[in-house]
């Protein structure tokens, strides 16, 4: 039996933010930029394979978002992906 994969959809705003962070890092440290993109790809793959392995993002206290709706995955020590 093959494992089920989930679709990972990257919001336009998040994609733009990731791109601008990467462009900044390329100017400062190409190694850090490659590490950021590599870690992001690994995170996206882990989310696609099993988003349920991550804890709920309970710190999201926004109107209209019920608790225990989104899960969070930290990567590269300072970025957060939500699923």
Residue 2 has pLDDT above 60, yes or no: no
Which residues lie below 8 Å from residue 29, measured CB to CB, with a gap of 6+?
A: none
Write down the pTM of the prediction.
Answer: 0.80
- Considering the domain boundaries, does residue 61 fall inside one? yes
Range of the domain at 73: 12-82
Total of domains in the chain = 1
In a domain, 5, yes or no: no
Do the beta carbons of residue 67 and residue 59 sit within 8 Å? no
Q: What percent of the chain has pLDDT over 70?
A: 95
Residue 57 lies in a domain: yes
DSSP-assigned letters across all residues of 50-74: -GGGSPB-TT---TT--SS--BEEE
- Does 47 reside within a domain? yes
């Amino acid at each position: 039996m093959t494992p089920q994969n989930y679709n990972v959809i990257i919001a336009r705003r998040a994609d733009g933010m990731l791109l601008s962070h990467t462009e900044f890092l390329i100017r400062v440290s190409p190694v850090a930029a490659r590490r950021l993109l590599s870690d992001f790809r690994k995170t996206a793959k882990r989310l696609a394979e099993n988003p349920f392995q991550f804890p709920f993002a309970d710190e999201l206290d926004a109107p209209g978002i019920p608790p225990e709706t989104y899960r969070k995955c930290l990567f590269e020590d300072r970025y957060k992906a939500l699923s």
